[in-house]
Structure 1
């Protein structure tokens, strides 16, 4: 691949990444740790593509070309482990979002990248990784393949983490995470075998773009306030579950209503009401598994699709939700108390209920539970007045 072709390919790649940065710049609701790592991955890839352009002045004489060739190739080798490191961290955060393991991994990756830079500096007089000859030509050194192997090892490690922890990864993220490794590894193999075919970074752009498409798709199906699924997400997932249930695989459906939510808005304001909704979503999300699907479908209503096939497991999850909200009320320090009205049941394919019929069924069960809560509230109020 000649210089002009490589420059054009890199410029197109950079433009794609700039568009991604622009599209994500106003998504305030996505400012999670994984989101920030992804943005860092995009920004570093842009920088590496620019460096890749300025490192292609082989054979050009003149002090400017020689300086650019030396500086650019040094930066390429100094930073070439940064992209796979960020990807490894991104995957780890998806698997263990709140784990201390993330900080430990970050420290390890900082150490690996620092060691790489130190070894590169030490090797400069000996040309172990690369050297620039008297004709300003880049030459690979005997240790060149080490950085390739480390990069591939990091990407394969991420791939194995994804595969072995697929039950911990939200289904909507799984495919883009698994496929990410394919384009850059193909690019690395081609670049190693054919010196004039440097496609590793361009393969990385394909992977980054795939993750971006997944983020966009999830945004369409995500509730803007709580970050869980929205009504559209629930409708799609419920239809999918019912179609699979026709083969005899049951699942659980749960309808959750934030009991007396109106009083929180009336007494403490809508900002506090929003905080209550976010807290409710977090309580529900922490009480279910990654393979389960949580969606906010109305102002204070949530639906959950549970990957369970028996009543006992379904009952245990409901008990876990009730225990979680009890613990929240004890420790939150909020001026209000959260309470859920819950309706739930297993979907039995023998009933041949449609998605709408099953939704109405668990809605009815939820309203029965809500009526019990109202009666308890009325009874308690009457008792207090009598006293």
Structure 2
């Protein structure tokens, strides 16, 4: 394992530790668990999973055995997938923060959910086509021709969240 890989793994393990402390603090500090509190805890858990799966992908990269073959693929899939799920959690958190307990979800929030689903579906297709990324014979990750599309989906989600905040900020 290279020094670079060890550095990435160590930093991600520290990130998991920090997220665990934050999630525990949120859980302990709020005796009445609102939807917003649960979403904050879910965001911390998603972040821990994302960092953990990314650390696994760094640990198993370049290794040629069968376990490494599957772990690198599962880990990279998980990193992309958790990013899309996190995007939905964050948009929901923002909506719960500024909505003043409205029960009807705005179209912008539903659009973020749709972008997350589209991103995950394209990610599943990527496993067979190399759309966003692929792996070479040495089990190394490479970005595919449509990698920027995966990033554009995330940027669109951020844009929709800003629209969501703007829509809900005014009565």
TM-score, normalising length: structure 1: 0.40
Match runs of 1:6-155 below 5 Å: 6-56=8-58, 57-102=60-105, 108-155=111-158
Q: CA deviation at 1:163?
A: 5.2
Alpha carbons of 1:115 and 1:44: their partners in 2 closer, same or farther (altered >3 Å)? same
1:79–1:113 Cα contact (<8 Å) kept: no
Larger strand share, 1 or 2: 1
Q: Which has the larger radius of gyration?
A: 1
8 A contact 2:115–2:153 mirrored in 1? no
Q: 2 CA distance for matches of 1:158 and 1:109?
A: 7
Measure, in 2, the Cα distance between the counterparts of 1:86 and 1:14: 18
Q: CA deviation at 1:105?
A: 6.3
Look up the SS of the partner of 1:102 in the other structure: coil
> Deviations for 1:88-139, whole angstroms, at most 9, x for unmatched residues?
1111111213223338666554443333222222232221111111111111
Bigger share in helix: 2
Q: Is the 8 Å Cα contact of residues 81 and 147 (structure 1) preserved in structure 2? A: no
Cα distance in structure 2, aligned partners of 1:61 and 1:69 = 10
Q: Is the 8 A contact 1:89 1:102 kept in 2?
A: no
Structure with the greater relative contact order (CA < 8 A, sep ≥ 6): 1 or 2? 2
SS at match of 2:142: strand
Q: Secondary structure at the match of 1:125?
A: helix
TM-score (norm 2): 0.84
Q: How many residues align?
A: 168
Distance 2:66 2:130 in 1: 21
Deviation sequence 1:321-343 (CA, Å, 0-9, x none): xxxxxxxxxxxxxxxxxxxxxxx
Distance 2:111 2:166 in 1: 22
Structure 1 segments unaligned to the other structure (5+ residues): 169-387
What stretches of structure 2 of length at least 5 have no aligned partner? none
Contact 1:129 1:142 survives alignment (8 Å): yes
Q: Is the 8 A contact 2:108 2:161 kept in 1?
A: no
